Amino acid sequence: MTGKNLLLVIDMQNGVFASPRFDRGGRVARINQLTAHAGQIIFIQHAEGEMTEGSESWQLLPELHRPAQAITVTKTACDAFYRTSLDNILAELGVTHLTICGCATDYCVDTTIKIAASKGYALTIASDAHTTADRRYVSAQGLIAHHNEVWAGLSIPGNIITLKTTEQILQDY
């Protein structure tokens, strides 16, 4: 992996999962594998509506492992960088590479990936550790496959964007 790496886990919260999400158990298990091996971890937690900071809806899923040294950043938009301390924290830690997983593939994960890539962070996307819900016209599985394909083809000159399975990422740690 390129540069100092950090695992970014997006919106794996009770309120987000109040609606069914594809393969919740499998996605959580793979994210737990990643957090068990990652040196640095930031959990991004969305605060909006009933998901106020500190509320039960805002809390991480109970089956998700949160190492004691993990950092939490609260956001209010799909973009984890928008009006948050994320950029400053990454700079203080000397992070140049992000491994990204979480929910929802087609909203907060996608937006954060594209903004992070534009900001120059090298990215590894855990292709089997992000999820979403079925939408009116597309299934969650279809959205996940579609976004994996889009992210693999993002054109950001001079930047590295890779998609890997959790197993492949763990081999790199």
Which residue ranges form the domains of the chain, and what is each CATH number? 4-172 (3.40.50.850)
The whole-model pTM stands at 0.96
More confident residue, 133 or 158: 133
Residue 3 confidence (pLDDT) above 60: no
Q: Considering only CA atoms, which of 91, 90, 74 is closest in space to residue 82?
A: 74
pLDDT tens column, 59-111: 999 999 999 999 999 999 999 999 999 999 999 999 999 999 999 999 999 99
Residue 131 confidence (pLDDT) above 90: yes
Residue keyed to tokens 């805002």: 58
The mean predicted confidence, pLDDT, of the chain is: 95
H helices of 16-165, where? 24-37, 86-93, 110-118, 140-152
d(CA 123, CA 142): 22
